[in-house]
Amino acid sequence: MMKIRVGFGYDVHALVPDRALWLGGIKIEHTLGLQGHSDADVLIHAICDALLGAANMRDIGYHFPDTAGAYKDIDSKILLRDTLKLLREKGYELGNIDATVCAEQPKLKNHIPTMQQTLAEVMAVDPDDISIKATTSEKLGFTGRQEGISAYATVLITKN
């Protein structure tokens, strides 16, 4: 019998000057970047949390603590690759991802296909299994004031 599980992830990072903006594993030209211990890729972090949650394996901070020097400025694609490795060691495989990035600026729609392709390569899955959407918060709240970017992810994983 196939076991099917779902997981949900959320992450937020502040926008600050003098940092690169990494989203969905790609560098995007923008005047501000995301602040964090790693490269602060909110989309990848939300996906990692969703995957770990679906497999009942805690969260990204448990596996990759921001108190560990090894993760300082780390490329979040490495964290995603390692998260998939943990899941596969437990017998799970990715079904699909449905994710949303919430940011006023920059506009992300033209970057989404590259994000999908990049994430698919990191996870060794079909890009069609990764849905990424972009929205704004209509100038409301911290995202609306361009103080930060948030991301949400829902995943489905299976085990035979």
* DSSP string for residues in the chain: --EEEEEEEEEEEEEETTS-EEETTEEE--S-EE-SSS---HHHHHHHHHHHHHTT---HHHHS-TT-GGGTT--HHHHHHHHHHHHHHTT-EEEEEEEEEE-SSS--GGGHHHHHHHHHHHHTS-GGGEEEEEE--TT-HHHHTTSEEEEEEEEEEEE-
Please say if the pLDDT value at position 160 is more than 90: no
Q: How many Å apart are CA 30 and CA 21, to the nearest integer?
A: 7
Question: Greater confidence, 100 or 37?
Answer: 100
In the chain, pLDDT over 90 holds for what percent of residues?
Answer: 92
Which CATH number applies to 3-159?
A: 3.30.1330.50
pLDDT at residue 38, rounded to an integer: 92
- Among residues 63, 58, 59, 54, the alpha carbon closest in space to that of 96 is found at 54
Give the per-residue pLDDT at 72.
87
**Would you list the domain boundaries of the chain?**
3-159
Instruction: Write out pLDDT tens, residues 71-83.
Output: 888 999 999 999 9
For 28-62, what is each residue's pLDDT tens digit?
Answer: 999 999 999 999 999 999 999 999 999 999 999 99
Binding site for a divalent metal cation, by residue number, is 11, 13, 45
Write down the mean pLDDT value for the chain: 96
In this predicted structure, what is the pLDDT of residue 130? 98
Which amino acid belongs to residue 92?
Y
Query: Which residues make up each annotated binding site?
Result: 11-13, 37-38, 45, 59-61, 135-138, 142, 145
What is the spatial distance between Cα 22 and Cα 79, in angstroms, rounded to a whole number?
A: 14
Share of residues in the chain with pLDDT > 70 (%): 100
